[in-house]
Amino acid sequence: MADNNDNKNRSEYFEDRAGTEDARFHMVPHGDGEWAIKREGEDDPVETYDDRDKAIDDAIQKAKDAGTIAIIHDDDGQIERQENFDFDEDDDDNNSGNDD
């Protein structure tokens, strides 16, 4: 019944974090040829862009400033990579970029 635990963990996350200052930033496709930065748990974008590279840079900067995670999606909406700035003193495994 791992699915039930996953759903519980996910719902606990959204109760505690989504839509708050601790929410992660997602850089996602938005309309025809546009990109958006969205805070996890919110429908409306924080900002929209015509330039993908600018959207990525800003998503990473916003996550860095907020001490959270930037999740970068590709053209199809799939997660391409993430940059982690959510450093917790009790968690030595957090680092920036992808884990190898």
User: Burial level of 26, CB count in 10 A (0-12/13-18/19+)?
Assistant: buried
Share of the chain above pLDDT 90, in %: 56
* pLDDT classification of 28: cutoffs 50, 70, 90: very high
Rounded CA-CA distance 74/54 in Å is 14
Task: Find the range with the poorest average confidence among 19-23, 27-31, 46-50, 54-58.
Answer: 19-23
For 53-84, the pLDDT digits (tens) are: 999 999 999 999 999 999 999 999 999 999 99
